[in-house]
Every structure is written in C-alpha cells, then in structure tokens.
Amino acid sequence: MNIIVCIKQVPETTEVKINPQDNTLIREGVKSIINPFDMYAIEEGVRIKEKLGAKTTVITMGPPQAEAALREAIALGIDEGILISDRAFAGSDTWATSYTLACAMKKIGQFDIILCGKQASDGDTAQVGPGISAHLDIPQVAYVKKIEELKDGFARVERMTEEGFEIIETPLPVLLTVVKEINEPRLPSLKGMMRSKQAKIVHWTAKDIQADESCIGLEGSPTRVVKIFTPAPRTGGQMLTGEPQEIAEKLVELLKSEMTG
C-alpha cells in the first residue's frame, strides 16, 4: 500500500502577536511548525504503515525552508519527503495549490490513500484537500475521525458531522482529510530523528511535475487578495463585582435584551 501525506508549514499561532501601536502582526522570531491538523495525518499514515505495511511519503509545497517540516515528518516515522518548490508558485490560491499538489501526485503515480489535515491553521480554508481529489478525480471523505477498516482497494471510515458522524465505505485510491479525534500523535523517536537528519529530500520544480504554467501561482489563481487589514482588537469590557447573587442579577439584566431580541 502507498500512502501520501500532504502537509503545510505554518507560523505557530501562539507566537503571533499584534503590535499595539500600529495593529500589525509581529512575525519576527516566530517559529514555523507543521500545521497542527497535519500532525494527525502524519500519525495516521505511520499507524497504517505499522499495521498493514505501506510506503509512506510526505509532500509539501512551499519555500525551501519547508524542508524542515518534511524532516520532522520523517522523524515521526514517514519514509520519504518531497518538497515542491518554485518561485512560479508564488501567489497560489487554493485552486492553484490543489492543482500543483495533484500534479505531484500524478508524478508519484502510485497511491492508495492521500491523507491531509482538515485545514491549515493560517488560512483555515479546508479547500485544498477536496481540491486535490477533484483534480485527480478520485473519491474523497472530509473530516474523518476514524478508519474502521482498511484493506486492499477498500476502506470504511467515520466522517464527523455537526450532529455526530457518518459511516462511509470507499474504494481506493481515496483522499481523506482527518480531524483531531482520529489519533494522538506520537513524539519523534531518537532513531527517527537520526534518520531524518540523513534523509534525502527530493526537490521538484514546476517543470519537474509538468505543471501547466497558466494553472500555477498567481496566474493560475482565480482569486486575488485586494486588501489586508487588522481588525480592531477586542478589548476587555466591563467587570462585574459583588456577591454571587448581585453578579447574577447584574449579568442577567445586561443580557436580557439579547435573549428576547
């Protein structure tokens, strides 16, 4: 079985701070991490490999620095890493990004399961996973919280919904986006860390994956960002004090209009 895990390197949100003077993001010294949701995809890939035997590949599109994220995934148990990096990808929106990743999948050729985190913590779109499966014209199941059964050419999974979950059966290959409930990611092992240091990361450019120039980067992106601004940060409001009874009375009085209106 061949498993591909798609990951994204993102800034660590806990570190993102706002400069109170001019309301801009302070990004200096902010650490880059693997998108938290992708950690569950990596873990699930490694678990399938341990259980059924599989070749696992981790792939990312990003700047050369994103190689660090691939090495981290290898330290966690993934076999190989591929970095898709090219200046021609600059300005890609989710359409162009999913196209680019789909081109790389085609070049890899063999895959039974593609695993993605449900969304990235910086963009929060949840569009790239389903976009890849649409470009490849393979089935998808988004928001998977459990793989119940997996064998050659077949999987049964649980997909999280607002009310509970759905049980879905799918042929392979399939693309799954996973939620946090699916597993608990492990920490890298010493052996894994040693291996990741020596691992050779494959680099592919737009030409290597035979991407159509008109479909990548800014040119291939239907959407354009026209304005970026910082919303006025929420400021602390009114403090309510007194005995519990008094506080309850004050609070209910303040919320009354919202309840009825």
Q: Which of residues 48-77 bind another protein (CB under 8 A)?
A: 63-65
Q: Does 226 bind another protein (CB under 8 A)?
A: yes
Considering the complex, what minimum distance in angstroms separates the CB of residue 191 from another protein?
27
In whole angstroms, the minimum distance from the beta carbon of 45 to another protein comes to 19
Q: Does 244 bind another protein (CB under 8 A)?
A: yes
SS3 category, 135: helix
What's the CA gap between 160 and 183, in Å, rounded? 14
Site for another protein, residues 97 to 136, rule: CB under 8 A: 98-99, 121-131, 133-135
Nearer Cβ to another protein (43/192)? 43
Reading the block at residue 153, the tokens are 């050419």
Report strand pairing: 140-151 vs 154-160: antiparallel
Q: Is the CB of 176 or the CB of 192 nearer to another protein?
A: 176
Q: In the set 53, 190, 198, 258, which binds another protein (CB under 8 A)? A: 258
Closest to 139 (Cα-Cα) out of 161, 163, 156: 156
Count of Cβ atoms closer than 10 Å to residue 78 Cβ: 29
The interface with another protein within residues 177-196 (CB under 8 A) comprises 179-181
Task: Determine if 198 is a binding residue for another protein (CB under 8 A).
Answer: no
The torsion of the CA quartet 23, 24, 27, 29, rounded to 10 degrees, works out to: -50
**Taking contact as CB under 8 A, which single stretch among the options 52-60, 137-145, 186-194, 201-209 is the one that binds another protein?**
137-145
- Counting Cβ atoms within 10 Å, is residue 112 exposed (0-12), middle (13-18) or buried (19+)? buried
